[in-house]
Structure 1
């Protein structure tokens, strides 16, 4: 006696093998959605868990504060602050380095180490070598990114200017720190490993070089779990205010942590948004394929029921087919996703400085992805299965009744046009089966939209580069000064050999406050008639700076919940630390960073100063660039120099590299999905019209004429679907760019004709390949077998 499940399982295997082309196409679509989801979740999980373990193991601080100078004896008063669990004081300073074989200016941040070597907070991971030893002067440990960029190893030496005095430093070790997972220069937006590094030196040596014996200018704090960070920050501010504090701030505002957080949030969005698109396409394809399968097996369903199979057993049988397709896509997607996720995590490691990566994907995530994949797949085929299995045996045994054909409205309107007979057949197919035609168009549209979403970001990145490094920043170099100086210093700079033009500006650290919302940022003062740096709007037009008021970027305005006309409280975090009210007079858009801008004369009046600047923007003669570099490097009042060329290289090496790699993966998977959709559309169209096309062949139509009918209908579907897909793709792209806005960058919604053309080309190439397969099947039609009718 045959087993019920065994017989039906054999039928499942046989039919899936017969439909292996459509089955594989759908499986690839499901695999694309699963792969993107697994890739994003694995990258997110790996970076999150690695960061959490790193923070805990190396005791990353929770509150930070920087001051001008405070005596060490005030530490006892600070340690008595309620809620303060642990405090580590240190000395920090800046340095200019002369790296062998590298002529451009290099700056560094130097942090002191206690006599015992490892600090109690923000401990160091030693890659190679050892930490500097007390009593051995001029020894430093170097952060890994800088060491790799200059091929430094223990024992290497290089000159450095610290507090205006030159000395030769000796590298004792290469280290990493939880404080500098994301290493960017002060005031910068992007890493620059060649031109900025972090060094650690023994406390005694650095204090002597900085003239800070018996004092400190930086503290790191951990807070007890039963106390709020805000209360400890307020107490620290009150205690450190007399010593030139720039304001204590929590870990959430720490630069490295903040930028890493933004990237993790984007990975979280990618793990939900793109798989949702892919799975929607898979649901559509499954519905079409299973509908067609059930419809062609009406008589088989009736026979199964006549032999005693229940509706539940028959429905389960067809559900198994859906689940097998889903399982195939799931296994393939998980495998590809794990490989891509590991590759993406290692790519992030190139500029996120972790000691190593803890690759972890919790089994719960895999279980959830599995359940969702099977659930989505069953939803895709549920309606067709329910309708087919609900038919009584007697009704299912009968073929479907012939359709009632009449002259459609479309045919009446177009009756004056002399159509060929095959073209009339194509028109009638669309007019008499509009739902089926509409579903086919939607399938093509989703394929087009998927490819468009995967590719439009290349255009967006190009616009970001053009705007930021060609329109906004026209300077060749930006020199940051140790302290503000009179604007008259520009005249001396401008007379130097190789300098064509110099322009000054001033940046001030501030805390912008609107009610309970606040944001630590920099307020930048730009000259009224600036020639080297501009603020642009979303139309890439220069925005005039308001007199007396502040201009905010749209991202910052949203975070603070302000609009033009509102007033902000601005806490100045330097000098006398004034708190002033400033009106928001305009809001504009920027792609990189978050900016707050004023006229430089208005900013200086706000600070109670004369015409001061602390940054100099330069254009230089390319032939004298090296000379200008050396002059600025050797000038005592210059803290560091950044070049536009270096920032552009850094953009492509870090943000551009990871962003565009992720985009490439999505684009590739989008192309696979497009092929799956088009291939299934053509195969199903051929299967549904096999009897009609064979009849036409018997009546004397040639292969080319029957192909005209099949491929002509597909061509109309493609043209309509591509147009609809462009519209859907732009909507999805807008949704994606809105969801992925971060403090570091906002991807603009730019869709060029090239992107539209690529999305259409991918669909058309998929159609040509699928059409070639269909053409072979069309020529091989067995006319006798296809024309057999059911008795």
Structure 2
């Protein structure tokens, strides 16, 4: 017989043997494949969604020439654009008019708010172009034509050809909607001062430059500039030049793209997706490697004699190694197939959720071949790594040694016997603990595998706990007003008397907001100082502790994040450069530092801030407490007040956020529960099956000796129950630590995620883990009850 035909016969025999083993261990094989599939699924879903978002974002930003720097200001002539373009490092620049105004919608009691932005009379914007979705672009000379953003249009049921009423600069205007559009600046559309979208009450409207200039008395002027910088230029250099140029025109301080609200939110989601899309699959791969090591190790231990016979018949070590490696490879290939199919489906669902939050045109899920190749290669490499130690054991086993039974374990007195605890425990418990003590590493790794499923649940669910806590703190403890109003321009504080006369108003608390640049040494930061009444009840200063902080008569209260940026502490002095009015510079003492979550804020007592500004008793708006029965009448009167630029209701904002969030929570929790259950079932079921295989003869002997099925099941499954009980607190600790890393990694200048995990989360993670363990135990118990005692007892090592 030729060597080729001999090799074919050998491989055919080994393949038949592999097929029998795969069928015999099909349930364990499927559980391992499911763990691999879940890991592949998370890669394909999360990393695929991440790549889809990045590709769409980059394409959209390039298509619309998204700016790198924004520079809001009070007012400047359009002729200043030439000087902006000539600044070092500026590749392109554009200017526009940007104002807020009240929208009077017929089917909405409360006034809505619109951000009006100008478009060039001819041609398209040089930067931050818009994309028309329905209808047409504004034609030159149209004075009442507007484009509105697509999400606002859909939320309000507005279409091209409809009209919308706005209070622009104190005058009511009927505007014609000629189309809907989207913009790279409003991928995630938020009202001013909010971190959540409200498409029913806040919209973006674009008008022609001349029409909007005439409406806001800005003919030949602009109040916002934005630029793109040349490649390789540090944005800070251009920002410094812009601030110097625009300072005489009331510049409020330029800021880079990373601080642009919509981009910041989108980038934060991308960063989180990238991290989670790497960390979670790594957990699943690690568990799969561990399971393959256990299953193959046990398989090789039970086939010592067969391995010896194969070697005696001339099978090479490489052929035997490949035979056992194929078991791992088959499990991974099955997992890859299921994972890719499931990942594509879940990826499309993920993108569907993103489409409700982010206005990105052409956002579709597409499986990238490179991602599939990378995930498959890493999974195969991990599987081979997990199987390698067991395979090497088979390869290194001499035939003569393999013919002998495996030497018995070295039994000796353990800590149970040495401490005397064993005398206090029933015999079944002693047997369970003694078996775990003899295999400490296997028990520990099994517990660690289950603990990772608990940790995954903790990481996912703590985000919802934190957001819920943040919303409750912000909208029920800090923002206690029923209605908050803001003015176009600051008003004399005597306007409070008019507010008191509005229908249903039971309390009025004025506030003053002043844009500033805070300096300390070589540190500086642009912010807004909020002036509040010292005895105010409707808007309070509350830190992470949940305790209201008294507002001192003098000095600044800074958020901890802002204090860290400025490198200041209580008692230090900072220079306050006021970015409006006469733009004076004053010194102010730091009266306290608040550990809050929302932005880089600064707070001061109202009269102290009015003195600091040097402009007298002016206010920027007011917080109102209103009788519920008179809310509609109040809104009706506010729509007629020309000085009012915005009206907000914290309760309505919170309700809108909760309705938007509900779908995302349901889908995300469903994914997490499924993923965690897969890990728990995979580890517990395989552990119990391996224990059943190892101790089958022992358990059958106990049955013959008169033990009931329940008693035998306790001996087998009690070990897995103890491992599960060990794993739950381990998983809590791991999840607690990983959640802290997530909090630290997601901190931005706009907000910080509070580190909050509710008691219900701990209980829920434990219940899911116990449920998965119970399902695994029932499956093994069913197999145990079907034991053929005679055939098991006939088995000899």
- TM norm structure 2: 0.93
Q: Report the counterpart of residue 68 of structure 1 in structure 2.
A: 74
- The offset of 1:117, in angstroms, is 4.9
Taking the TM superposition and a 5 Å limit, the aligned residue runs for 1:258-297 are 258-297=264-303
Q: Report the counterpart of residue 92 of structure 1 in structure 2.
A: 98
Distance 1:486 1:250 in 2: 34
Distance verdict in 2 for CA 1:348–1:510, change over 3 Å: farther
Q: Report the counterpart of residue 768 of structure 2 in structure 1.
A: 762
Q: Please tell me the root mean square deviation across aligned C-alpha atoms, in Å.
A: 2.6
Distance 1:524 1:94 in 2: 19
Distance verdict in 2 for CA 1:576–1:376, change over 3 Å: farther
- TM norm structure 1: 0.93
Distance 1:185 1:589 in 2: 24
Select which of 484, 494, 500 maps to 2:490.
484
Deviation above 6 Å: which 4+ runs of structure 1? none
Q: Report the counterpart of residue 707 of structure 1 in structure 2.
A: 713
- The offset of 1:261, in angstroms, is 1.5
Taking the TM superposition and a 5 Å limit, the aligned residue runs for 1:507-586 are 507-512=513-518, 519-546=525-552, 548-558=554-564, 563-564=569-570, 568=574, 570-580=576-586, 582-586=588-592
Could you list the per-position Cα deviations for residues 680-704 of structure 1 after superposition, in whole angstroms to 9, with x for gaps in the alignment? Answer: 2222222222111011122232323
1:355 maps onto 2:361 in alignment: yes
- The offset of 1:519, in angstroms, is 4.5
Select which of 102, 116, 127 maps to 1:110.
116
Select which of 316, 320, 324 maps to 2:322.
316
1:437 maps onto 2:447 in alignment: no
Could you list the per-position Cα deviations for residues 592-614 of structure 1 after superposition, in whole angstroms to 9, with x for gaps in the alignment? Answer: 44433233333333322333321
- The offset of 1:202, in angstroms, is 1.6
Q: Report the counterpart of residue 725 of structure 1 in structure 2.
A: 731
1:457 maps onto 2:460 in alignment: no
> Contact conserved, 1:37 with 1:270, CA < 8 A, in 2?
no
> Contact conserved, 2:90 with 2:227, CA < 8 A, in 1?
yes
Q: Report the counterpart of residue 775 of structure 1 in structure 2.
A: 781
- The offset of 1:465, in angstroms, is 2.3
Q: Report the counterpart of residue 18 of structure 1 in structure 2.
A: 24
| Most deviating of 129-138 and 100-109 | 129-138
Taking the TM superposition and a 5 Å limit, the aligned residue runs for 1:201-220 are 201-220=207-226
Distance 2:571 2:354 in 1: 41
Give ranges in structure 2 of 5+ residues lacking alignment.
1-5
Distance 2:455 2:290 in 1: 14
> Contact conserved, 1:453 with 1:667, CA < 8 A, in 2?
no
Select which of 498, 502, 511 maps to 1:496.
502
Taking the TM superposition and a 5 Å limit, the aligned residue runs for 1:408-447 are 408-411=414-417, 413-414=419-420, 417=423, 419-447=425-453
1:246 maps onto 2:262 in alignment: no
Distance 1:90 1:416 in 2: 82
Could you list the per-position Cα deviations for residues 578-626 of structure 1 after superposition, in whole angstroms to 9, with x for gaps in the alignment? Answer: 4555554543333444433233333333322333321311111111111
Distance 1:18 1:746 in 2: 53
Query: Residue 510 of structure 2: SS of its match in structure 1?
Result: strand
Distance 1:541 1:413 in 2: 50
- The offset of 1:417, in angstroms, is 4.4
Distance 1:726 1:440 in 2: 16
Select which of 145, 154, 175 maps to 1:148.
154
Could you list the per-position Cα deviations for residues 469-524 of structure 1 after superposition, in whole angstroms to 9, with x for gaps in the alignment? Answer: 11121111111111222334323312322111111222223344566765443332
Distance 1:438 1:323 in 2: 26
Q: Report the counterpart of residue 401 of structure 2 in structure 1.
A: 395
1:180 maps onto 2:186 in alignment: yes
Could you list the per-position Cα deviations for residues 223-281 of structure 1 after superposition, in whole angstroms to 9, with x for gaps in the alignment? Answer: 33365544433333333222222233332322222222222111112112222333332
Distance 2:623 2:348 in 1: 41
Query: Residue 60 of structure 1: SS of its match in structure 2?
Result: coil
Q: Report the counterpart of residue 303 of structure 1 in structure 2.
A: 309
Could you list the per-position Cα deviations for residues 190-243 of structure 1 after superposition, in whole angstroms to 9, with x for gaps in the alignment? Answer: 221111111111222212211222222222323333655444333333332222
Select which of 658, 665, 668 maps to 2:671.
665
- The offset of 1:564, in angstroms, is 4.5
Distance 2:331 2:661 in 1: 37
Distance 2:400 2:198 in 1: 76
Could you list the per-position Cα deviations for residues 521-559 of structure 1 after superposition, in whole angstroms to 9, with x for gaps in the alignment? Answer: 333222222211222232212233455443333444455
Distance 1:284 1:131 in 2: 60
Select which of 136, 146, 149 maps to 1:130.
136
Select which of 168, 175, 188 maps to 1:169.
175
Query: Residue 539 of structure 1: SS of its match in structure 2?
Result: coil
Distance 1:210 1:35 in 2: 53
> Contact conserved, 2:347 with 2:365, CA < 8 A, in 1?
no
Taking the TM superposition and a 5 Å limit, the aligned residue runs for 1:616-765 are 616-654=622-660, 657-658=663-664, 661-765=667-771
Query: Residue 357 of structure 2: SS of its match in structure 1?
Result: coil
- The offset of 1:46, in angstroms, is 1.4
Query: Residue 218 of structure 1: SS of its match in structure 2?
Result: strand
Distance 2:784 2:764 in 1: 29
Select which of 100, 116, 125 maps to 1:119.
125
> Contact conserved, 1:269 with 1:740, CA < 8 A, in 2?
no
> Contact conserved, 1:259 with 1:743, CA < 8 A, in 2?
no
> Contact conserved, 2:416 with 2:422, CA < 8 A, in 1?
no
Distance verdict in 2 for CA 1:656–1:420, change over 3 Å: closer
Distance 2:235 2:149 in 1: 29
- The offset of 1:162, in angstroms, is 0.7
Distance 2:298 2:554 in 1: 70
1:373 maps onto 2:379 in alignment: yes
Distance 1:622 1:697 in 2: 73
Distance 1:297 1:567 in 2: 78
| Most deviating of 749-758 and 44-53 | 749-758
> Contact conserved, 1:455 with 1:664, CA < 8 A, in 2?
no
> Contact conserved, 1:94 with 1:163, CA < 8 A, in 2?
no
Q: Report the counterpart of residue 55 of structure 2 in structure 1.
A: 49
| Most deviating of 140-149 and 117-126 | 117-126
Q: Report the counterpart of residue 3 of structure 2 in structure 1.
A: none
- The offset of 1:670, in angstroms, is 1.5
Distance 1:431 1:168 in 2: 81
Query: Residue 732 of structure 1: SS of its match in structure 2?
Result: helix
Equivalent pairs, count: 791
Query: Residue 549 of structure 2: SS of its match in structure 1?
Result: coil
Q: Report the counterpart of residue 9 of structure 1 in structure 2.
A: 15
> Contact conserved, 2:684 with 2:720, CA < 8 A, in 1?
no
Distance 2:405 2:88 in 1: 84
Distance 1:21 1:513 in 2: 66
